[in-house]
């Protein structure tokens, strides 16, 4: 890894870890034709550079009862968007907060266990100071949902 640029081995290492973060350094080395210690040092350098933010299990929200996925668009009052986004980031049902361009200011991705839980959440959301409007879309079917976009590698 030179500077912030990833080489081919780093990219292959990231792809392997993205598909199975539990691979040992021996297994990574074997798959890439490098030593386990080289795999270890490369992973540690990418962790230090914050390319790898953390290792965590990928949970199935449907099997955990949170099978209602929604997209919520938010229009906020100017000058308060950063504070709103920080507040949204602290809310437990929200798993992504995006500051966006266009007619809306913020895009939220969230999951709920029921329509009743969603209803309560939306009412709480629109009562927050500086939230002017919201528009909630219910996801009917998920064709693809990945935390790691392989196209960036």
Contact 120, 136 (CB under 8 A): no
pTM: 0.82
Task: Determine the pLDDT at residue 151.
Answer: 58
**What class has domain 68-138?**
alpha beta
137: left (phi over 0), alpha (psi -120 to 50) or beta: beta
Instruction: Render pLDDT for 8-33 as a digit per residue (tens, 0 to 9).
Output: 999 999 999 998 999 999 999 999 99
What's the CA gap between 132 and 80, in Å, rounded? Answer: 11
What's the CA gap between 148 and 4, in Å, rounded? Answer: 19
CATH of 8-48, one of 1.10.600.10, 3.40.50.10470, 1.10.10.10, 1.20.58.110: 1.10.10.10
Domain boundary assignment for the chain? 8-48, 68-138
């Amino acid at each position: 890894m030179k500077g912030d640029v990833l080489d081919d081995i780093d990219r292959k290492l990231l792809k392997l870890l993205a598909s199975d973060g539990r691979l040992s350094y021996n297994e990574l080395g074997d798959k890439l034709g490098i030593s386990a210690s080289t795999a270890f040092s490369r992973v540690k350098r990418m962790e230090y550079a914050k390319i790898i933010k953390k290792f965590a299990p990928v949970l199935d929200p449907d099997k955990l009862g949170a099978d209602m996925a929604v997209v919520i668009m938010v229009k906020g009052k100017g000058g308060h968007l950063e504070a709103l986004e920080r507040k949204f980031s602290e809310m437990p049902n929200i798993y992504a907060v995006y500051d966006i361009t266009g007619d809306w200011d913020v895009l939220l991705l969230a999951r709920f266990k029921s329509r009743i839980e969603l209803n309560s959440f939306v009412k709480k959301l629109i009562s927050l100071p500086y939230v002017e409007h919201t528009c909630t879309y219910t996801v009917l079917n998920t064709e693809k949902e990945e935390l790691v976009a392989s196209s960036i590698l």
